[in-house]
Structure 1
Amino acid sequence: MDPAPSVPIGVKETSTIVILGSSTAQGFGASSPDSSWAKKLEVFMNKKSKSNFVNLAYGGFTTYHVLPSGCTAPEKIQPDTARNITKALSYKPTLVIISLPNNDVANNYTNKEIVENFGKLTHILDSSKIQYIVFSTQPRDFTTLEQRRQITTLNDTLKAVYGYHFNDFLAALSDTDYFIKPEVAYGDAVHINNAGHTIIFNAISKHALLTNSCKCSVSN
């Protein structure tokens, strides 16, 4: 994995930020689009410099949905060519945010294959010299402790792999039994509410790759 850049990322006035993700990144759980972390981030960034935001996130997406076009695996979901990494690159992004918190676990994919899929995505971005931020997992009220713990072990692995590129907020959303904290729960056992979206926004707005880009930080 590349070390932290020694100089700030040069986000130009016409920089483009692309989001790859699933329902939370699309805005589910927020009471309005303006309360979602993605919209909050767009408004925040545009206070300092003009940025084009392209949100390709879609409810139910897994890592398999966003793999490169033509990257197929037997008996697995095929890439969605309208919302995958190949489509993201077509916008010539300055920064790509990857937010795929737990649908892979819900689909009974192993951590090994999930991490391999993340590796395919980030290898393309590294090769294209495009900066990226990988979001942490999010808690989900799975009935089995095994799946709830998988969310945490997957998060630990991704954090170890991506280091500087990782944005970790799992603990702020989880209770001691790996369920969604009641105060941030939307109520469907899957999504987070406005308070949860705000926690994610606060985490991403302070991430070094982003703050170095826009030379600003959020005030609490």
Structure 2
Amino acid sequence: MNRKLFLPLILGLMLCLSHGVIAQKKVVIMGSSTAAGYGATSYALSWGGLLESSFNVNTSDGTDTLFYNIAIGGYTTYEEMYTGCYVPPGRPAPDPMHNVTMALSYTPDVVIINLPSNDEGAGFSINETMYNLRQMYSTITASGAKCYITTAQPRNDYAVSQRQDLYDMKDSILAQFGTFAVNFWDDLVTSDGLNMLRPDRKDPYTDMHPNDLGHQFLFERVQAKNIFGFVVLPLQITRFNGQLKNTGTELNWHIEQQELNTVFEIERSATGLDFEPIFSLTSVTPNTSGDFAATDRNPLPGHSYYRLKVTEPARSLYSSIISINNNNNVLKIARLFTSNSASTVTADISSTKNELAIITLVNSAGVVLKQIKQYLTAPSTRISLAVSHLAEGKYYLKVTTAGNAQATRAFIK
């Protein structure tokens, strides 16, 4: 082959190969109205639009950053949580088209979450908001993506106490997420201590959104984070599960990039809302990955909810919540019958523990007619109650143990 022709061919091939290995980055923006660009005169002038333009200065090479904005105005942290997560009663369910699960479906390199104030307006506590943000952060970083959380933002349509809550939430987010927190507060807030949105940076049509200038400042805060730059890898909880074993609940978890003196706490709840620590372990090995295990030797009867709290020197995070149904502590009224003369009712109570119980006799209107204490002996205890004085009708026998296990069964006199 002619050397003059061969050299350009090789150079062209090298350019094609090098072009092919340049990875195309993906960014997902999640959140509510500010993330969606409200307040700016166009989306191109919103912080999200400005960020996209800053990365995509050349759209001819096919390697510019892809942006997906799935923010929805008015949304709270609950709508943004991952699909299938536990949602307390009275709270909105995750929206599968705009939540963490949808964000991860794009296989992003970076996810930015901007949920500045709607939780406060909905009456959710700061603890709720912070818990949800930690859950989302953990879910995203477990996938291998980076996650940045923006702070609360000031708004003028809230009462003084609500604006103070937003200020406190800003501090909590900065302390919790450190390098991965983006300060969306300081450039927008007034300097008079009232925690209001500055007039020169406020959309003239609303009391809650930044204008073009305000969005410019927010963009600069995100830009300063160098979101694709090198950072120390955060600790990741890649697995947390549990199973019944013998008479206890065995819990297992896997951690990546733990620091020295990282503290692991297992927390348990009967409702999935109020958690209490039942186990604690401190790691003495830095910058490693590892498997850990703990056993709840006295699990609650019925359903127990567990989560893992991990506390590093600079921050804390939580695992997802898991539910374990403890079938080992079964309480059941196996048989319930009245005598031929209907003078007594007899119950055979099955239990797996020897413990004190309260036996309650209730009529169909829910009125308690009689209540006695009875010590139950596993596997079965028989009791009899006099019912000759009762009128004909439907009644209920209820058994409640000291461990709060319950069983109820109806009978006809």
TM-score range (shorter-chain normalised) is 0.7 to 0.9
Residue identity matched to 1:62: T
- Does 2:167 match 1:152? yes
Contact 1:185 1:191 in 2 (8 A): yes
Worse-matched range after superposition: 167-176 or 85-94:
167-176
2:111 is aligned, of 92, 96, 106, to: 96
- Does 2:196 match 1:179? yes
Q: Alpha-carbon deviation of 1:172?
A: 1.1
Q: Cα deviation per residue 1:168-195 (whole Å; 9 max; x = unaligned)?
A: 1301100121010000111311111001
- Does 2:37 match 1:27? yes
* CA radius of gyration, larger in: 2
Tell me which residue corresponds to 2:242: none
TM, length-normalised to structure 1? 0.88
User: Which protein is richer in helix relative to its size?
Assistant: 1
Q: Relative to 1, partners in 2 of residues 1:158 and 1:143: Cα closer, same or farther, differing over 3 Å? A: closer
Tell me which residue corresponds to 1:42: 52
Query: Equivalents in 2 of 1:24, 1:18: separation in Å?
Result: 14
Query: Equivalents in 1 of 2:33, 2:123: separation in Å?
Result: 18
* Corresponding residue SS for 1:40: helix
Paired residues for 1:1-220 under 5 Å: 13-47=23-57, 50-71=64-85, 72-175=87-190, 176=192, 177-187=194-204, 188-210=206-228
Long gaps (5+) in structure 1: 1-11, 214-220
* Corresponding residue SS for 1:208: coil
Q: Which of the pair has the greater relative contact order for Cα pairs under 8 Å at 6+ separation?
A: 1
* Corresponding residue SS for 1:204: helix
Following TM superposition, the consecutive aligned residue runs of length 4 or more in structure 1 with deviations greater than 2 angstroms are 208-213
* Corresponding residue SS for 2:227: helix
Contact 1:13 1:50 in 2 (8 A): no
TM, length-normalised to structure 2? 0.47
The sequence identity of aligned pairs, in percent, is 31
Q: Alpha-carbon deviation of 1:125?
A: 1.5
CA RMSD of superposed structures (Å)? 1.5
Q: Alpha-carbon deviation of 1:73?
A: 2.3
Q: Alpha-carbon deviation of 1:62?
A: 0.6
Query: Equivalents in 1 of 2:68, 2:96: separation in Å?
Result: 15
Q: Alpha-carbon deviation of 1:209?
A: 2.8
